Structure 1
């Protein structure tokens, strides 16, 4: 099986990148392959432009960079987003990737007030890296916010299925390195039937 791991962080030396690397190693140890899409180092432009608006209105074909990203997704058996939580949501780099790549006509078909979901069969795993501790996120209901904003608002809208949503907390604390084995385990079990430790399944 093959996974596309999309990393939404500008610093190649970040914990986010290290966690994505551990995920990839876990996948490899379980006999699977992966591709890491490092959006920042690849120079992906997250700005939704007039050209993208024309695609949304079905007046133009998607530009070459968007077509490349869509092809990478289509080659994968699972899509894994690994990202720091900025302002309780996706960072702008990753949010812009979603806005441009999950375009009308490819991810969904919206015409004359009717929406058809086009990504049935896509399997998605979310890995959010939080600076705060678990208690803070529980008190403020972030798990539900994540489910509504990302799982439902993005992927369910397109027909994709979020199989797991993982929150790796306290990434700014002294024990941040302890998150690395957890990320590797996520990779090892991504395509297995075993329950993934530390993962909250939507439901």
Structure 2
């Protein structure tokens, strides 16, 4: 069975982000995928990398080992988080630092000291990111330059070898209506099914 890693980074269980994550997981399961779901805040994932871990790639953190093993096996990756200061929440930044390590998510050619072009190691066929924001789209693009797009598309997933990428930003959340939120959840489900269609459909198309 194909495995999809779903990572949620939001401290409030009643948030729109949590509802998006639940929609993602339910859609994937309905489509026949195994979902490896992680709510980083609920798991109390430690985002701080120790000096020993940085220097030696060794850890006694069993939760971290689980994340690393799953991400190497994953056929797809889906991340859900709010836009905080044009960046992911700190717990998710720490997840990237600690999970997507060299020899886990990427490597370099033999003899390269890390200054050359990376070789992506992740086998995931596609990566999706769902974001929420209270910043209007025009201001996000013209004033800030949409940094989350660059972070996830180029700095993370392309670096790790995943070129099929889609990110959706739902906004403005603060004054959104229930109808708008339900529309966003429907759009979430449609996007997940487009990139991770029902397994039976994949088999049929392959024949």
How far does residue 128 in structure 1 lie from its aligned partner after superposition? 1.3
Question: Which residue number corresponds to residue 85 of structure 2?
Answer: 87
Q: 1: CA distance between counterparts of 2:163 and 2:152?
A: 11
What RMSD in Å do the two structures reach over aligned CA positions? 2.3
Contact 1:23/1:186 (8 A) holds in 2: no
Structure whose residues are more often helix by fraction: 2
**Structure ID, larger Rg:** 2
Contact 1:16/1:129 (8 A) holds in 2: yes
Contact 1:24/1:34 (8 A) holds in 2: yes
- Gapped runs of 5+ residues in structure 1? 194-203
User: 1:34-113 residue pairs with structure 2 within 5 A?
Assistant: 34-54=35-55, 59-63=56-60, 64-109=62-107, 112-113=113-114
TM (norm. structure 2) is 0.79
The range that moved more, 109-118 or 165-174, is 109-118
Change (3 A) 1:51 1:78: same
- Pick from 172, 181, 189 the counterpart of residue 177 of structure 1: 181
User: 1:1-203 residue pairs with structure 2 within 5 A?
Assistant: 1-54=2-55, 59-63=56-60, 64-109=62-107, 112-115=113-116, 116-122=118-124, 123-140=126-143, 142-143=145-146, 145-175=147-177, 176-178=180-182, 179-192=184-197
How far does residue 162 in structure 1 lie from its aligned partner after superposition? 4.2
How far does residue 23 in structure 1 lie from its aligned partner after superposition? 1.3
Deviations 1:63-86 (A, max 9, x none): 433221011213321000100011
Structure whose residues are more often strand by fraction: 1
> What is the count of residue pairs matched by the alignment?
188
Deviations 1:98-126 (A, max 9, x none): 00111122222355245542425323111
Contact 2:7/2:79 (8 A) holds in 1: yes
TM (norm. structure 1) is 0.81
- Gapped runs of 5+ residues in structure 2? 199-207
Q: 1: CA distance between counterparts of 2:100 and 2:160?
A: 8
Change (3 A) 1:147 1:60: closer
Provide the secondary structure at the position in 2 that maps to 1:158: coil
How far does residue 31 in structure 1 lie from its aligned partner after superposition? 3.1
Q: 2: CA distance between counterparts of 1:5 and 1:39?
A: 10
Change (3 A) 1:71 1:133: same
